[in-house]
Structure 1
Amino acid sequence: MDLLIDKYQDSMPKLTQWAEDNIPEGLTMFGLDLCEFNRKRLRTSNMIERLNQKC
């Protein structure tokens, strides 16, 4: 993300400010800060896949 900020800071300041404010929050949905149990549950919303999981 720092590359994006550095590249567009001068030409698109509103974009870079939006990116700094919103991208980290948006990435939390990928479970980067969650334990393994919760990451597996968030991986998919397909209930059939959840039922067929071995764990």
Structure 2
Amino acid sequence: MLNDMKIIDIVYKYPQNEEIFKKYDEQAGCCVLCQHLLDTINELAVLYKLDRRYD
């Protein structure tokens, strides 16, 4: 499941998703791809209270 994949693995396998992660930079207050490449989507969502509608 994608929620358990590390962000770096998602961007590697699906490079088109890089733009999606960039959209969360403002809400997170940082560059998500710079600071959280080794986190999972679930970890990122919990940390910044992001919508996890794809659970």
Greater RCO, 1 or 2 (C-alpha within 8 Å, sep 6+): 2
Structure with greater helix share of residues: 1
Q: TM-score, normalised by structure 2?
A: 0.30
